[in-house]
Amino acid sequence: MRRRRTSGRRRSGGRSILGGSSNVQTRMIGHAVGGFAVGFLEKSFPNLPRLPIVGKKGAIAIGAYLLRNQSPILLDVALAAAAISGYQLGSSGTVTGDEDSLDGVAAQM
């Protein structure tokens, strides 16, 4: 006579805890492609709008974020542009393509 399993018990599905490294690699490649796309967009369209504080790269990040449902690559573009503009803002106080610096904005407030 066979014993039945209790209904509350579930099987694990055979997944390992350490099996998530391929997701990290996929995300890194996606962000690298997004960074390439940011550079390509900035080079191809020199008349991109410049937003205060965030500059051209911030405008690319905001635009790509708002259109992220249109294509999965646009989320990677938005994240890469936000990372690049955040780095530039933190290291030099300005973002490339922004005429004003943080000192000018602070002086107005």
Does any domain span residue 13? no
- The residue-averaged pLDDT of 19-24 equals 70
Interatomic CA distance for residues 42 and 25, integer angstroms: 26
pLDDT of residue 18: 54
Q: How many domains does the chain have?
A: 1
Does any domain span residue 96? yes
- Name the residue range of residue 99's domain: 22-108
Q: Which pair of structure tokens corresponds to residue 100?
A: 């004003």
Residues 6+ apart with CB under 8 A from 87: none
Q: Does 69 score more than 90 pLDDT? A: yes
Q: Using CB atoms within 10 A of its CB, is residue 20 exposed (0-12), middle (13-18) or buried (19+)?
A: exposed
Model confidence over 26-42: pLDDT tens digits? 888 988 999 999 999 88
DSSP one-letter string for 47-82: T---BTTTHHHHHHHHHHHHTTTT-THHHHHHHHHH
pLDDT of residue 109: 45
Q: Which amino acid is at 7?
A: S
